[in-house]
Amino acid sequence: MEKMTLFEIKALYRDDFRVTGYRFGSGEKTAAVVGSLRGNEYQQIYVCSLLIKKLEQLEREGKIAEDKSILIVPCGNPYSVNVKKRFWTIDNTDINRMFPGYDLGETTQRIADGIFKAVQDYEIGIQLASFYMPGNFVPQIRIMKTGLENVDMAKQFGMPYVVLHHPRPFDTATLNYNWQIWETEAFSLYTSSTGEIDKKSAAMGERAILNFLSKQGIIDYSSDEGYISRVVETTDFIDVRTSHSGFFEGKVKAQDRVEKGQLLARIIHPYEATVKEELLAPVEGTVGFIHNETLAYQNTAVIKILP
């Protein structure tokens, strides 16, 4: 294992900003795994730490292919992690909306540029991503429909779902999209949580990546085959929206199977403790996403059902 500084910005008053990478194997650039790019992505850092521990063991045992190498980048935004802020601490910009970056630009553009230069030449790119809304979601592999996506390869992770996403204009500045444009096989892996460590789904994410690397001939690793992935599109999910704001009281969990008309959640009046609204399942299906914060706003998609 080689620990290295991939990118660094000198600081006047604090410790220097560093993006650290862990390299395993000594062959060609084969697979890169990027963890947290946002300050609240603790689960993503944790999954990377599990991978680093396991890959170090496999390397000692000689189970990484001689002509392959793997790079793990646990965190691309340690400043925001340190102050518990999701986006960049100074101007609230999102590093994952700055790719491929610009080395003479604003700070987050330069960070994105430094990270992308370190990972862009790898054949396979895996990002441990988080959803743009706060909540828990069904474990999945997500790939953007750029015309360069590889669905069959995505199935080899053995995750419950492979979700195809039609890129919107702001998606063109994400790591996943730019990896694909620069001819890397790119995948975003979602476990169940973001700001809290969920060890069960983290272990699922670790196994999925190790299984995938094994099937690609990069490592020698034996495990269960995982799920037979169901391929869906983001447009297949049905939103359940609130008509009122208030305290959110969820009655189901992500990945639960629900019947049409089943109670999914309640919105509670924050002053009077009365039920302002009951949210019912519009169809039979699987809970793909559910809001997990105390407050819910009016007219917000707090649950997504996959029929």
In which order are the strands placed within the sheet that holds 246-250? 275-280, 263-268, 246-250, 295-296
- Whether 2-233 and 237-306 share one fold: the answer is no
pLDDT in tens, 176-189: 999 999 999 999 99
pLDDT in tens, 5-44: 999 998 877 789 999 999 999 999 999 999 999 999 999 9
Q: pTM here? A: 0.94
CATH of domain 2-233: 3.40.630.10
> Does residue 167 have a cis peptide bond before it, meaning omega lies within 30 degrees of 0?
no
pLDDT of 220 strictly over 90: yes
CA dist 59 and 19 (Å) reads: 23
Rg of the Cα atoms in the chain: 20
The two beta strands, 275-280 and 185-190, are: unpaired
CA dist 35 and 81 (Å) reads: 12
88 in Cβ contact with 97 (< 8 Å): no
Residue 131 — very low, low, confident or very high, per pLDDT cuts 50/70/90? confident
Q: Indicate the Cα dihedral angle 165, 129, 174, 52, nearest 10°.
A: -130
For residue 90, the model assigns a pLDDT of 87
- Tokens for 164, please give them: 């195809």
pLDDT of 264 strictly over 90: yes
Burial of 271 (0-12, 13-18, 19+ CB in 10 A): exposed
CA dist 88 and 178 (Å) reads: 20
Amino acid code (one letter) for 85:
K
76 in Cβ contact with 21 (< 8 Å): no
80 in Cβ contact with 90 (< 8 Å): no
Question: Domain residue spans in the chain?
Answer: 2-233, 237-306
CATH of domain 237-306: 2.40.50.100
18 beta partners: 8
Tell me which residue has tokens 């609204």: 277
